Amino acid sequence: MSDILSQDEIDALLNALDVSDIQIEETTHADTRRVKEYDFKRPDKFSKDQIRTLFMVMESFARSWSTLLAGKLRSLVYLEIVSIDQLPYEEFIRSTFTPSVIAIFSASPLKGNAIIDISPPVAFSLIERLVGGTGGGTTKVRELTEIEEALMENVVTDALRILKNAMGEIIQANPRLEDIEYNPQYLQIVPPSEIILFVSFEMKIDDNRGMVGLCLPYLFLEPILPDLSTERFFRRAPEEEDEQQKRSEVILRNLRSTQMDLKVEIGRVELDVEEVLGLSAGDVITLPTRLNHLFKVHLGDDPKPRFLARPGLIGRYKGIEIMDYFEE
């Protein structure tokens, strides 16, 4: 029998073959590699440990600066970190309010300049407090006058001195105010694409609040990056701890010696304009306060009373005795 199949035999075999019975095994290769997205426009130049260490430095700065301002303004001042982000310099410029109080400073031996950005609500509230006002600020956004700029230069100089102490665990730098600008578009301390570390603070002065920002370019911080580690930050020498203790004692001593006005509210009454215009010497205004009532005591211009007191005599002088206090 011949081994060669005829055409009829080949056709019969093909017809008998049902392709639906053939099971095709699909082989899939699972990709076990983990793909991490990377934004080339916003590269991460600072490690998590470096940012964590800088956060602790900035916390120390915020505590000390708010304490100093509280003593100078005779008011309650809070300053806390909102966030720390690394972003391109051009993004910082676009997000900065115009006009703002933008203080450019150097910090030898670090290279280049950095920025303290103070928003208008904070700047005008500080200025009004410094000249004896209530700190309400102004609703009109504008550039500062020469006198106002001089006041803000003193505020920034104080902040830089505090920043020097806060960074003392990392480097002995000498921050110095170089200039004050109001339009961020004029600021070219680094190229637009350069990465910066932006520390955002919220400052609260009594009932007024606003933002303060610290712009630290990568080139500015680069020399101290190896020292920005939590291990290095907590490894203090005994003499450094003594110096920190001395600074704390000085701040506390200055706070204790700060003079504050104490105002005693005997009573309040509402009069219409006609009654006020009709007042003359000898008129008597009846107050809704009884003889056995306690008086409210205010600190400075704070509208909220802090204590309750009863009146009395101290020798030949009138005085009060504190009987209770108001919870915050």
Report residue 322 CA to chain centroid gap: 36
Amino acid at 265: E
244: Cβ contacts below 8 Å, ≥ 6 apart: 236
* DSSP, residue by residue, 221-238: HGGGGGG--HHHHH---H
120: Cβ contacts below 8 Å, ≥ 6 apart: 97, 99, 100, 101, 137, 141, 210
Q: Which two tokens stand for residue 88?
A: 């391109």
- Burial code of 232-270, b = ≥16 C-beta within 10 A, e = fewer? ebeeeeeeeeeeeeeeeeebeeeeeeeeeeeeeeeeeee
Which residue segments constitute the domains of the chain, with CATH numbers given?
48-256 (3.40.1550.10), 262-325 (2.30.330.10)
Please tell me the total number of residues recorded for the chain in this structure: 328
Amino acid at 215: C
- Element (DSSP H or E) covering residue 203: strand 195-205
pLDDT tens digit sequence for 12-40: 766 666 555 555 555 555 555 565 565 55
Which residue is listed with tokens 């170089």? Answer: 178
User: 246: helix, coil or strand?
Assistant: helix
Q: What is the pLDDT along the chain (328 residues), one digit of tens a residue?
A: 455 667 777 677 666 665 555 555 555 555 555 655 655 555 678 889 889 999 999 999 999 999 999 888 888 889 999 999 999 999 999 988 888 899 999 999 999 999 999 999 999 999 988 888 776 655 577 888 899 999 999 999 999 999 999 988 788 899 999 999 998 888 889 999 999 999 999 999 888 889 999 999 999 999 988 888 766 666 654 555 666 677 777 777 777 777 778 888 888 888 888 888 888 998 888 888 887 788 889 888 788 888 999 888 888 888 888 988 887 6
Per DSSP, 278 falls in state T
- Does the model's pTM come out above 0.85? no
Which residue is listed with tokens 């802090």? Answer: 306
CA distance 52 to 84: 9
Cis peptide before 120 (omega within 30 of 0): no
**Long-range residue pairs from 244-250, CB within 8 A, at least 24 positions apart, any chain:** 247/64, 247/165
Mean pLDDT, the chain, whole residue set: 83
Measuring CA to CA, which residue among 177, 230, 198, 201 is closest to residue 61?
A: 201
CA distance 227 to 74: 37
Which residue is listed with tokens 């009004």? Answer: 128
Decide: 212 and 199 in contact? Cβ < 8 Å.
Answer: no
Crossing angle between the packed helical segments 120-130 and 146-166, to the nearest 10 degrees: 100
Decide: 190 and 121 in contact? Cβ < 8 Å.
Answer: no
Please give, one letter per residue, the 3-state secondary structure of 10-62.
Answer: HHHHHHHCCHHHCCCCCCCCCCCCCCCCCCCCCCCCCCHHHHHHHHHHHHHHH
β pairing state of 174-181 and 101-108? antiparallel
Give the model's pLDDT for residue 234: 63
CA distance 139 to 142: 9
